[in-house]
Chain A
Amino acid sequence: MTAPPVVRGGYALSTAAAVATLFVFTPRTDAIRFVTVTLPVVVVLLVIAAAGALAARSGRAVLFLAVAAVALLSALLQLAQFGRDPNWLGGVGSTASFLGALGLGFAGLWLVARAESRGKDRNGDQPAKPL
């Protein structure tokens, strides 16, 4: 049986976060370095990947919202400190953009999961079949 789209979406975003940690090994000048990833960013991405997978597994809207908040706050922090000292995450604009994409993605899944749970609540008030 195919998993619901919100679950597949959660796993896809978590996988993207985990795979992006590999950019830490690409040289600064490499043509395939789409996103600048430093060691602190690896930690943030792994947290997002693990929490995102947990949210996808449970399907709970509030968990998607929590992961979105972590990603979006990290993106804002990176954007505010990029090109300055201190730069806690050590990333650049592409780092902020990628973290922002993860935040948007999980926020979107939160909206979908919330709408689905509200729909279930509404249907739960009514009998499944006409009597």
Chain B
Amino acid sequence: MSHTVIDRASPLEPLDTGRGSRAALAVVRITVGLLWMANSGWKTPPDFGAEAGRGLYRFTNYAVEYPVFPPYTWVVENVVLPNFTFFGWAVLLLEASLGAFLLVGFATRLWAVLGLVQTTAITLSVLNAPNEFPWTYYLMFAVHVVLIATAAGRTAGLDGLLRPIWRRSDSRLAALLLRAS
């Protein structure tokens, strides 16, 4: 049964907050978590494909071979590729963390923002590369915006369980986590 919160003073039609909608939102969040999780599996240390020109190195190098945004190309060519081991680890840690935090719905809004940042980096690297489907990246942007706008971790996620505890706390960390969730 659908359930809505009705504010009679608002001219806007209220959003559906019923059980089905909340379950669907949890499915979306978990799917996005699995997306990042699965893709942290092929970013292999210690050189992340730099020596063989494969894997993460190859896709990052697309930003130079098939430029999308010249200032970003300059950064990749002069900062990222010469220090690729560091950036490889940063990408692996970020994507593995995105998978973990979004899957369980912990600080979901913060991690969805970081997902947007990483989606931007990926898009600026590979959008013009051959055999890429641009709508993949547009959809990645859209789905992270949905997670932020709906605070999707409050549905079947840790945020939903922990927010009442954070609300009762006086600590700064709790206040930050309330904003991040």
Chain B residue with Cβ nearest A91:
B41
- 8 Å CB contact of B100 from A13, A92, A104: A104
Of the four ranges (under 10, 10 to 19, 20 to 34, 35 or more), the interface on chain A belongs to 20 to 34
Q: Give Cα A94–Cα B34 distance, bound, in whole angstroms.
A: 9
What chain A residues lie within 8 Å of B103 (beta carbons)? 98, 101
Name A56-110 residues within 8 Å CB distance of B. Answer: 75, 79, 82-84, 92-98, 100-101, 103-105, 108-109
- 8 Å CB contact of B99 from A33, A92, A101, A105: A101
Known: A93-B96, A94-B99, A108-B106. A34 touches B34 (CB 8 A): yes
Chain B residue with Cβ nearest A113:
B161
The segment out of B11-19, B42-50, B141-149 that lies at the interface is B42-50
Q: Are A93's CB and B161's CB within 8 A?
A: no
Encode B32-67 as 1/0 by CB contact (under 8 A) with A.
011011111111111000000000000000000000
Chain B residue with Cβ nearest A95:
B41
Q: Give Cα A115–Cα B36 distance, bound, in whole angstroms.
A: 31
Q: Are A115's CB and B37's CB within 8 A?
A: no
Q: Are B37's CB and A35's CB within 8 A?
A: yes
Listed from nearest, the 3 A-B pairs whose CB atoms lie closest are A94-B41, A93-B40, A108-B158
- Chain B residues with CB under 8 Å of chain A are 33-34, 36-46, 92-93, 95-97, 99-101, 103-104, 106, 158, 160-162, 165
- Chain A residues with CB under 8 Å of chain B are 5-6, 9, 13, 33-36, 75, 79, 82-84, 92-98, 100-101, 103-105, 108-109, 111-112, 115
